[in-house]
């Protein structure tokens, strides 16, 4: 097994491509000075394998303050989509100055040289981009972990080609059962998503379901869990966010702190009932066995602090949702500056990293079982320097209005 090692100021990050897991290792000495055998022993304990099974591959060349590079780079390779989903925050907004294949080639080489582990292709719908498969091949040729977000809406030829290139990880959107999914997307969309999941399972390609929790779908989460069990994958339950494109659906089915609590409480109970299906939510404060991809402290001021998003025109944002904050969080353009230069020197990105979530500081869950939620969901409606996720239900628990136990 190949484990990628990236030196950091605290020690190093170890990335296992097979499981798509990052592990943060704190060391007294810089990673570059550690004896190779000592590092092999450490990594073997972390991933439960013997030294003989491990091949270390070192990436990145500098140690900087905070993370030296994003863990994952999200690339929007098209603004087109075959759907117009009721809950989608993205307008179909084709850009006249969209990046071309040469731009992506340069960007991906920068990502490789920085030591970025994963590149996630997204869109609107990435698979309809005319350069989708060329970009996939470049990512794979550079030794980067290739992951893809998709609705699953594609013809049989594209589905076969997708399976044939064997991406490392494919995330398929499934929102509730067939009736709710098709009502949100279009008739027949559910069947195509399920067909792709089965094809990925048959090809033994790592896969996951993304499910948006809304007032329409929250009573059908068990059906999504049953599907995940059937196709052998986990689920990331994502709360409906109301920024971006306005729709009547969002007005009708938006979540509240109480309904978010009810959804998370049910999901937490299902983690115990169906342990073979990995389940994630944005607020895992009700369970005893919190699991995260990484140490909570790097989520500064939110998970956008560990990743990066490049829009179809080359603009870098800490995350996609921050694009809708009237350009306040545009950190630079990768066609004009290198990705490393933006990550290190962007004053906008530096200011973003310094944001303090004042209302979270006194919360007993903060940076223990909760990173504070979505910062931009608060900023979309209240332009102030404080922070509170509009779906946070911790105050309901503190006030005794909701129990802290799952299923309550």
Task: Give the 3-state DSSP-derived string for the chain, with helices as H, strands as E and coil as C.
Answer: CEEEEEEECCEEEEEECCCCEEEEEECCCCHHHCCHHHHHHHHHHHHCCCHHHCEEEECCCCCCCCCCCCCEEEEECCCCCCCCCCCCCCCCCCCCCCCCHHHHHHHHHHHHHHCCCEEEEECCCHHHCCCHHHHHHHHHHCCCEEEEEECCCCCHHHHHHHHHHCCCEEEEECCCCHHHHHHHCCCCHHHHHHHHHHHHHHCCCCEEEEEEECCCCHHHHHHHHHHHHHHCCEEEEEECCCCCCCCHHHHHHCCCHHHHHHHHHHHHHHHHHCCCCCEECCCCCCCCCCCCCCCHHHCCCCHHHCEEEECCCCEEECCHHHHHCCCCCCCCECCCCCHHHHHHHCHHHHHHHCCCCHHHCCCCCECCCECCCCHHHHHCCCCCCCCCCCCCCHHHHHCCCCCCCCCC
CA dist 284 and 263 (Å) reads: 11
Cβ neighbour number for residue 144 with a 10 Å cutoff = 22
Place of tokens 């594209």: 158
- Which residues have C-beta within 8 Å of that of residue 74, sequence separation ≥ 6? 120, 122, 307, 308, 309, 310, 319, 320
Best CA proximity match to 261, nearest among 402, 87, 368, 359: 402
CA dist 260 and 280 (Å) reads: 14
Provide the residue-wise pLDDT of the chain in tens; the chain has 408 residues: 889 988 888 888 899 988 888 888 888 777 766 777 788 888 888 888 887 788 888 887 655 556 889 999 999 999 888 888 888 877 666 555 689 999 999 999 999 999 999 999 998 899 999 999 999 999 999 999 999 999 999 999 999 999 999 999 999 999 999 999 999 999 999 999 999 999 999 999 999 999 999 999 999 999 999 999 999 999 999 999 887 777 888 889 999 999 999 999 999 999 999 999 999 887 778 876 544 444 566 666 677 778 999 999 999 999 888 887 777 889 999 999 999 999 999 999 988 887 777 778 788 887 777 777 777 766 654 554 445 788 888 888 887 777 766 554
Peptide bond just before 46 cis, omega within 30 deg: no
Nearest 10 degrees: CA dihedral of 90, 153, 314, 111?
130
Place of tokens 């389940």: 279
What distance lies between CA 213 and its chain's CA centroid? 16
Best CA proximity match to 375, nearest among 323, 310, 301: 301
Q: What pLDDT score was predicted for residue 385? A: 47
> CB–CB of 394/368 below 8 Å?
no
C-alpha distances in Å from residue 338, one per residue of 99, 101, 267, 272:
14, 16, 41, 46
Q: What is the value of pTM for the model shown?
A: 0.88
Q: What pLDDT score was predicted for residue 96? A: 53
Render the burial of 164-187: b for 16+ CB within 10 Å, e for the rest. eeebbbbbbbbbbbbebbbbbbbe
CA dist 162 and 232 (Å) reads: 19
- Residue 333's DSSP bridge partners are 315
């Amino acid at each position: 097994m190949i484990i990628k090692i990236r030196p950091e100021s605290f020690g190093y990050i170890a990335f296992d491509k097979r499981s798509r897991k990052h592990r943060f290792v704190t060391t007294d000495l810089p990673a570059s000075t550690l004896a190779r055998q000592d590092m092999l022993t450490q990594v073997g304990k972390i991933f439960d394998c013997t030294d003989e099974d491990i091949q270390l591959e070192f990436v990145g060349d500098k140690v900087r303050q905070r993370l030296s590079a994003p863990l994952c780079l999200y690339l929007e390779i098209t603004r087109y989509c075959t759907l117009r989903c009721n809950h989608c925050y993205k307008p179909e907004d084709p850009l006249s100055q969209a990046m071309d294949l040469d731009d992506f080639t340069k960007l991906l080489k920068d990502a490789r040289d920085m030591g970025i582990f994963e590149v996630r292709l997204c869109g609107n719908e990435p698979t309809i981009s005319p350069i989708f498969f060329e970009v996939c091949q470049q990512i794979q040729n550079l030794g980067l972990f290739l992951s893809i977000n998709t609705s699953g809406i594609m013809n049989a030829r594209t589905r076969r080609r997708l399976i044939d290139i064997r991406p490392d990880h494919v995330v398929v959107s499934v929102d509730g059962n067939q009736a709710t999914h098709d009502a949100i997307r279009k008739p027949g969309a559910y069947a195509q998503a399920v067909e792709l999941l089965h094809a990925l399972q048959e090809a033994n390609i790592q896969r996951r379901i993304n499910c948006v929790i809304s007032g329409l779908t929250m009573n059908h989460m068990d059906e999504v869990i049953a599907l995940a069990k059937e196709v052998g994958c986990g689920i990331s339950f994502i709360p409906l966010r109301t920024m971006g494109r306005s729709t009547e659906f969002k007005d009708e089915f938006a979540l509240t702190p109480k309904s978010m609590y009810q959804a998370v409480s049910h999901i937490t109970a299902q983690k115990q009932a169906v342990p073979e299906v990995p389940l994630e939510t944005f607020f895992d404060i009700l369970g005893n066995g919190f699991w995260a991809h990484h140490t909570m402290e790097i989520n500064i001021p939110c998970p956008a602090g560990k990743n990066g998003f490049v829009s179809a025109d080359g603009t870098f944002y800490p995350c996609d949702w921050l694009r809708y904050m009237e350009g306040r969080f545009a950190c630079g353009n990768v066609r004009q500056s290198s990705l490393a230069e933006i990550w290190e020197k962007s004053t906008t990105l530096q200011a973003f990293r310094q944001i303090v979530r004042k209302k979270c500081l006194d919360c007993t869950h903060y940076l223990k079982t909760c990173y504070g939620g979505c910062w931009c969901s608060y900023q979309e409606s209240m332009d102030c320097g404080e922070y509170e996720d509009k779906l946070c239900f911790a105050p309901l628990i503190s006030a005794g209005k909701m129990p802290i136990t799952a299923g309550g």
